[in-house]
Chains A and B, each alone.
Chain A
């Protein structure tokens, strides 16, 4: 299954695209890299692996409510790596392509 993610603020679309294209917070990327590799300066291959892991965890969470709007406030921990301002007030939808 190929997925797309949409992040909305009421009727305004904030993000609509492939999960791996979500903007990532650098500090979360580094802290996850430290958790996984104990490396504060990961190479691009390790960065990509970290991002895939974060995104995969989010998809697993959202799969249970596929095509449904989910309030981000309810899944705060799973989206904390996404670098979008005021994210907590938005909604997120996982769609199958």
Chain B
């Protein structure tokens, strides 16, 4: 059976060039970067080379980049680490459509006495900027916003968000896990204070991430121990993860334009074809070509259950994601789908399709055929 991977927002395969680049660090170049003999020093240099590649890719300085185990740790580091250094500031602002890494970190901080404000979003998933402006006050520690939403593909107007934060002298953390490799951005233009990246979302290895921390900001480490990462993250470095992440970031930046063109073609073609066949489906998030991730489509189907459609598609070799969540022992629409106010009859069936650089436009007719077969099976047509 031919397989169609359409879940690139969940994870991407490692780029073969990245794999080749990291292979020596899994075998011959095993030396501890903290040691002071020849090969160890070479490995330390390779980590710093990687740091520079990531810094270059987002317009930061190398000493503003700290390696972590991934996006979740970076988000925890930004929120908890900055909170710990500023115990007088007890309010945090976020949106209702953040990734669980942010929401659950904030729920933890709520238990520690923080007041968290959850911004409303409109039907496209764009945050209410006026509400943000009204909520920031002298007790606000930080605003934390997801740049490109993982579930519905909506890209926030970060420049407007950062202008509001700057006016109130409040720090801004941007979860750019899904945005990097999709959107050309620079931390200085965006004017953000913290920014989260995750390697496996842009064809790098899993288990590696980074947090950008604007120079001059103080942040408490999550993990204490040795002086790795300039005392910001203890523990022997994930050498091949970090080195692979750097190379993947370099390639993502270098090939951003060609990848974007490829994604846009895939997105437009698939959207035209699927909406021609399924006339009553809804596109969740912003319209194609307007503040939307180029590789992202999220659809709501009527009168079908998402997990059932997902199962039928999987059986036919089409690998997508659903907008369902596990809540108190029941499968429910995700918090993002609820927040955008999708009509009740559409909420139970949300399917996310995300393309990648190995996706092929010529596969679309076959994929759509499998959607038709799956829906026929479920609807009894």
**CB–CB A45/B324 < 8 A:** yes
**CB–CB B326/A45 < 8 A:** yes
Q: Interface digits, A42-63 against B, CB 8 Å rule (1 contact, 0 not)?
A: 0111001100110010000000
**CB–CB B380/A97 < 8 A:** yes
Residue B307 CB within 8 A of the other chain? yes
Q: Give the residues in chain A near B381, CB-CB below 8 Å.
A: 2
Q: Closest residue to B332 on the A side, CB-wise? A: A44
Q: Give the residues in chain B near A44, CB-CB below 8 Å.
A: 326, 329-331
CB distance from A13 to the nearest CB of B (A): 21
Would you list which residues of chain B between 313 and 327 have a CB under 8 Å from chain A?
Answer: 315, 324, 326
**CB–CB B380/A2 < 8 A:** yes
Q: Total interface residues on A, using CB and 8 Å?
A: 14
CB distance from A51 to the nearest CB of B (A): 10
Q: Interface digits, A1-42 against B, CB 8 Å rule (1 contact, 0 not)?
A: 111000000000000000010000000000000000000000
Of A45, A56, A97, which one neighbours B315 at CB under 8 angstroms?
A: A56
Q: Interface digits, B272-308 against A, CB 8 Å rule (1 contact, 0 not)?
A: 0000000000000000000000000000000000011
Q: Closest residue to B328 on the A side, CB-wise? A: A44
**CB–CB A45/B378 < 8 A:** no
**CB–CB A43/B380 < 8 A:** no
Q: Closest residue to B373 on the A side, CB-wise? A: A1
Q: Give the residues in chain B near A53, CB-CB below 8 Å.
A: 311
**CB–CB B326/A2 < 8 A:** no
Of A1, A45, A48, A49, which one neighbours B380 at CB under 8 angstroms?
A: A1
Q: How many A-B residue pairs have CB under 8 A?
A: 31
Q: A52–B315 Cα gap in the complex (Å)?
A: 11
Of B308, B329, B376, B380, which one neighbours A52 at CB under 8 angstroms?
A: B308
Q: Give the residues in chain B near A45, CB-CB below 8 Å.
A: 307, 324, 326, 331
Among A2, A20, A43, which residue has the most Cβ atoms of chain B within 10 A?
A2
Q: A97–B378 Cα gap in the complex (Å)?
A: 11
Residue B111 CB within 8 A of the other chain? no
Q: Closest residue to A49 on the B side, CB-wise? A: B311
Q: A53–B307 Cα gap in the complex (Å)?
A: 12
Q: A20–B311 Cα gap in the complex (Å)?
A: 12
Q: A12–B256 Cα gap in the complex (Å)?
A: 66
Q: Closest residue to B307 on the A side, CB-wise? A: A48
Residue B20 CB within 8 A of the other chain? no
CB distance from A32 to the nearest CB of B (A): 14
**CB–CB B378/A2 < 8 A:** yes
Q: A97–B377 Cα gap in the complex (Å)?
A: 11
Residues of B at under 8 Å CB distance from A? 307-308, 311, 315, 324, 326, 329-331, 376-381
Closest 3 CB pairs of A and B: A2-B380, A52-B311, A97-B380
Q: A3-B380, A49-B311 are in contact. List 12 more A-B contacts (CB 8 A).
A: A1-B376, A1-B377, A1-B380, A2-B378, A44-B329, A44-B330, A44-B331, A52-B308, A56-B311, A56-B315, A96-B380, A97-B380
